[in-house]
Amino acid sequence: MAELQGFMHPRSPEGRASIVPGPPWHYSGDLLTIEYRTDPDRVAELLPPPLEPVDEDPGAVAVVFADWQSCSDSFAELDDPVRSQYKEAFVVVRAAYRGERYSRCAYIWVDKDFALARGWHQGYPKKLGSVHMTRPVAYGKAGPRLAPGGRFGATVTVHDRRVIEARFTIAGPSETNGFVNALPMLHHRFFPSIESGAAPSMNELVTMRGEDWEGSPIWQGEADLAFFDSPVEELTRIAPREIIGAYYRSVGVTWRGGTVLDDGRGAGR
């Protein structure tokens, strides 16, 4: 009997039914990043032991809206764009682990199943949602220009309820794209046991970063950011107190894999 193929479920005789092909995964997209400060104790709530808050600016948070096009090494998805295009929005904090500082995605929403599956493999706590961003234009009046005065909006909706709303107006060029989401990522790959009351089947602490990174010039500006109540989200616990900065840029990156720091059983690096 033939062995089933595929990087993730569903595995099948040829492997084409898998929800996503295996890495490397290539990404190109436009990102709107808004950084703000909230109650540092609320950020600390998002860091399970042995992770700890960072010493400098512990209440700093970033919300990133992204309009992506992605593909595997076959590049076949680019001929079938419904399999390559998606949007997401994520909330990032920072954490300290064994004397090193990391970025950590606390919440994230995507609008395609293949992006959800990739994120779970990487330890991103992805959920389905509806994400919209204003797109810049080079011609006509149906969008902002990437120039001072360009105005953008972004929203996240979960189960038909708006949970995030943002506005951004370009003021000028920037040398930085912020600091909260600028470190290697530190995530937990978690999956509960099928046996009631048993230890998790997976509870790995992992780190990762991309390669072959490219980026456009950065634009900075003024931003407004609001979170709204939802029966299935806890965003208002980390509601903004003050805006630190806001940035817009295009990026490209490739992801091949990460490193297990702790496998939950006392092994790791």
For the chain, the domains span: 25-189+210-258
Backbone conformation region of residue 149, classed left if phi is above 0, alpha if psi is from -120 to 50, else beta: left
| Cα atoms in the 13 Å half-sphere on the side-chain side of 134 | 20
Q: What is the mean pLDDT of residues 82-110?
A: 98
**Which pLDDT does position 126 carry in this prediction?**
98
* Structural contact between residues 123 and 102, judged by C-beta atoms closer than 8 angstroms: no
Q: Is the per-residue pLDDT at 111 higher than 80?
A: yes
**Which pLDDT does position 252 carry in this prediction?**
98
Q: Report domain 25-189+210-258's class.
A: mainly beta
**Which pLDDT does position 89 carry in this prediction?**
98
pLDDT tens-digit readout, 232-263: 999 999 999 999 999 999 999 999 999 999 99
Backbone conformation region of residue 57, classed left if phi is above 0, alpha if psi is from -120 to 50, else beta: left
* Structural contact between residues 144 and 152, judged by C-beta atoms closer than 8 angstroms: yes
Going by the DSSP 8-state scheme, the letter that residue 40 receives in this structure is H
pLDDT tens-digit readout, 18-70: 999 999 999 999 999 999 999 999 999 999 999 999 999 999 999 999 999 99
Backbone angles phi, psi at 203, to 5 degrees: -150, 60
Residue 94: closest CA among 38, 133, 140: 38
